[in-house]
């Protein structure tokens, strides 16, 4: 029997009268790289925030590695690492201080803390610049620092919400190279959202297309492309299932666009 990292059944989350997540059923197998795709306002970020216990599961059930997020939220958080859309580093602190702060936040044992911080920085190729202020880092280095923060507690589930937005192709490739290596070394489950279809096609074992708070299609990138046609790309799949939402102007969609633009400007 396949071990599930994430299991959502009938998940609903509303913002006032707006239904952001609409009776979502979602399963993510432990150890896979799972891509949650869709236009702005599709409900992806809301779903991720519920999984991270940052928003309540208003209706339905959610389990992370079998733990009910309503009753075992603290235990769930110990399994998680999270890189949000918005920048989460403190520019006035050094890289090492940023990662150490997260180690304390995630209750990494004091005796192990320094070694864990160094391991996370080394994995992201930041050890040589660890004592520089994070505000002096390039955009790609900042994203790698955020990954180091998310990895310092050695999570079983790493959640990445558009982690390469605003990065140039070389910096994006560097981020993903390190994510793949960490996933291979530690067997982490990775849940990501991205608007770069080639990224999802290359990285993901399974892709789910989300639109209007519901899943429209789930499968491997190869399966989904084959369902469209022999020459189809994942972008064609995206347009088939979510194209009607490409001009979405919901409140969440507007917020997500603003966040992405702000992050892109900060990353340069």
Taking the model in full, what pTM does it have?
0.84
CB 260 within 8 A of CB 162: yes
Topology at the third CATH level for domain 4-79+155-267: Rossmann fold (3.40.50)
**Measured CA distances, 248 to 42, 165, 187, 257 (Å):** 9, 19, 36, 11
Percent above pLDDT 70 for the chain: 90
Please determine, for residue 10, whether its predicted confidence score (pLDDT) is greater than 90.
yes
In this prediction, residue 259 carries a pLDDT of: 56
DSSP notation for 224-263 = HHHHH-TT--HHHHHHHHHGGGTT---HHHHHHHHHHHHH
Residue with tokens 């996370």: 120
Average pLDDT over residues 236-254: 62
- For 74-112, what is each residue's pLDDT tens digit? 899 889 999 887 777 899 999 999 999 999 988 889 999
Average pLDDT over residues 114-133: 94
């Amino acid at each position: 029997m396949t071990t599930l990292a994430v299991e959502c059944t009938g998940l609903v989350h509303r913002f006032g009268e707006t239904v952001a997540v609409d009776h979502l059923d979602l399963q993510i197998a432990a150890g896979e790289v799972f891509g949650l795709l869709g236009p702005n306002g599709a409900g992806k970020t809301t779903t991720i925030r519920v999984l991270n216990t940052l928003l309540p599961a208003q209706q339905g059930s959610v389990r992370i590695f079998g733990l009910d997020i309503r009753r075992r939220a603290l235990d769930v958080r110990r399994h998680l690492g999270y890189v949000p859309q918005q920048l989460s580093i403190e520019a006035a602190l050094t890289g090492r201080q940023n990662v150490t702060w997260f180690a304390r936040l995630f209750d990494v044992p004091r005796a192990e803390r320094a070694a864990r911080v160094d391991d996370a920085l080394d994995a992201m190729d930041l050890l040589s610049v660890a004592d520089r202020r994070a505000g002096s880092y390039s955009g790609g280095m900042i994203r790698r620092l955020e990954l180091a923060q998310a990895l310092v507690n050695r999570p079983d589930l790493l959640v990445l919400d558009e982690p390469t937005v605003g990065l140039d192709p070389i910096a994006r490739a560097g981020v993903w190279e390190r994510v793949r290596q960490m996933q291979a070394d530690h067997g982490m489950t990775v849940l990501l959202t991205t608007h770069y279809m080639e990224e999802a096609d290359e990285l993901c074992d399974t892709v789910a297309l989300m639109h209007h708070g519901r899943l429209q299609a789930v499968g491997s990138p190869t399966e989904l492309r084959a369902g469209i046609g022999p020459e189809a790309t994942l972008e064609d799949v995206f347009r088939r299932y979510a194209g009607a939402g490409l001009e979405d102007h919901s409140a969440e969609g507007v917020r997500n666009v603003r966040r992405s633009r702000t992050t892109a400007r900060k990353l340069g």
